[in-house]
Amino acid sequence: MKIGILTSGGDCQALNAAMYGLVKGLYKKSKNKVEIYGIKDGYTGLIEGNSAKMNLSDFEYILKQGGTILGSSRQPFKKINDEYKNGKTKVGCMVENYKGMGLDCLVILGGNGSHKTANLLSEKGLHIITLPKTIDNDIFGTDMTFGFSSAIDRATEYMDNLKSTAVSHNRIFIVEVMGNKAGWLTINAGIATGADVILIPEIPYDIKKVKDHINKKFSQGKRGIIVAAAEGILTLEENKLSKKAFIEKRQKEEISDSAQNLEKQLKDQMDAEVRTSVIGHIQRGGNPSAYDRILASRLGVEAAKLICKKQFGYMMAIQNGKINKCLLKDIAGKKKIIDTEDEILNQAEMLDICLGR
């Protein structure tokens, strides 16, 4: 049995742990009758035919290692049918290289965009199994993605550390957390640090509500305010604009991102000093949390079992604590964002956190 593995899209913690679980499971279940091929730098390696045969020992010590030993890249789905070389499309090259390598299955560790490509490859007849990775936790069909728990830890530690300086200077700190369309990371890290305000892309915010809440906190004697703000937040007014009008507005106001937009509004309208701190890619870096190591290993092992049963076209998922499989065609192209009725939002509000609504 010949199995290819690739890691695609933005990296996250526990990609290596998932490969460790997968490869160990494959060796065990097939009684060592398996050959593993690592494809370099995500779909780019599959397009270019860049892969190397690997041994069990290559995966033995990577359980707790951050990043991905295979490398990763972004290959946007909307460009996957573009010509790559000699009249061949990128997807055409991927199919050709899969066949040329004589693979029995390709295991893809990826996020939302990668799942669209994985589904396309599956529709073209390739044997595909996927594992859900991303710090954003926005993959439809799974309760959790691996990478998410570690990123919460990273963002929590960062905000905890900001708190002392925010208190000393009695400043308002806006902390930009990753997540363009989904606020899972922001809401969880915000609750974990006892943030005063949490703004997420799913709830366009009313700046007046934010201001009033901060003023209330100051009047109660609180020093140092933390506003956890996801990358993709919009004001109520911005949310009503077309994409074109929104871009024009931001250009006219010389605003490059949402945190800067929020900072400008707070600075204009509040007496306290305002500072913005961007956590950035550190949220995806470093060793995975224990939870992520366990989740990723379990997903990997169950993927191995499915492959040995010759069942393909699935994403492995955790649902109510159990590892299950979802049909790729049922989940590809869908995004799991926070429902505005989700209980976690009400629980945050009960903790006297303002969500800008």
Residues acting as catalytic residues: 136
At closest approach, how far in Å is the CB of 311 from ligand F6P?
A: 28
Determine which residue in the list 18, 108, 118, 178 makes contact with ligand F6P, applying CB under 6 A: 178
Two tokens, residue 112 = 């939302």
Determine the longest span between alpha carbons in the chain, in angstroms.
69
What letter does residue 351 receive in the DSSP assignment? Answer: T
The answer to whether 75 and 8 have CB atoms below 8 angstroms apart is yes
The DSSP secondary structure of 143-192, one letter per residue, reads: S--BTHHHHHHHHHHHHHHHHHHHHHHT-EEEEEES-SS--HHHHHHHHH
At closest approach, how far in Å is the CB of 201 from ligand F6P?
A: 10
At closest approach, how far in Å is the CB of 180 from ligand F6P?
A: 4
The answer to whether 60 and 27 have CB atoms below 8 angstroms apart is no
How far are the Cα atoms of 43, 63, 72, 74 from residue 46, in angstroms, in the given order?
5, 24, 11, 12
In the complex with ligand F6P, the residue whose CB is nearer, 68 or 134, is 134
Question: Beta 225-230 vs 197-199: how paired, if at all?
Answer: parallel
Q: Give the residue nearest to ligand F6P (CB).
A: 10
Binding to ligand F6P (CB under 6 A): which residues in 5-24?
10
In the complex with ligand F6P, the residue whose CB is nearer, 46 or 182, is 182
Binding to ligand F6P (CB under 6 A): which residues in 96-135?
111, 134-135
Q: Which residues contact 244 (CB under 8 A, 6 or more apart)?
A: none
Of the candidates 55, 71, 76, 77, which has an alpha carbon nearest to the alpha carbon of residue 109? 71
At closest approach, how far in Å is the CB of 88 from ligand F6P?
A: 26
At closest approach, how far in Å is the CB of 255 from ligand F6P?
A: 17
Q: What is the radius of gyration, based on Cα positions, of the chain?
A: 22
Binding segment (CB under 6 A) for ligand F6P, from list 89-97, 172-180, 235-243, 341-349: 172-180
In the complex with ligand F6P, the residue whose CB is nearer, 73 or 287, is 73
In the complex with ligand F6P, the residue whose CB is nearer, 113 or 300, is 113
In the complex with ligand F6P, the residue whose CB is nearer, 23 or 70, is 70
Binding to ligand F6P (CB under 6 A): which residues in 270-289?
284
Binding to ligand F6P (CB under 6 A): which residues in 192-231?
231
Determine which residue in the list 180, 256, 311, 346 makes contact with ligand F6P, applying CB under 6 A: 180
# residues near ligand F6P by CB under 6 A: 10
Per-residue b or e along 258-285, where b marks 16 or more CB atoms closer than 10 Å to that residue's CB: bbbbbbebbeeebebebebbbbeeebbe
Residue numbers at the binding site for ligand F6P (CB under 6 A):
10, 111, 134-136, 178-180, 231, 284
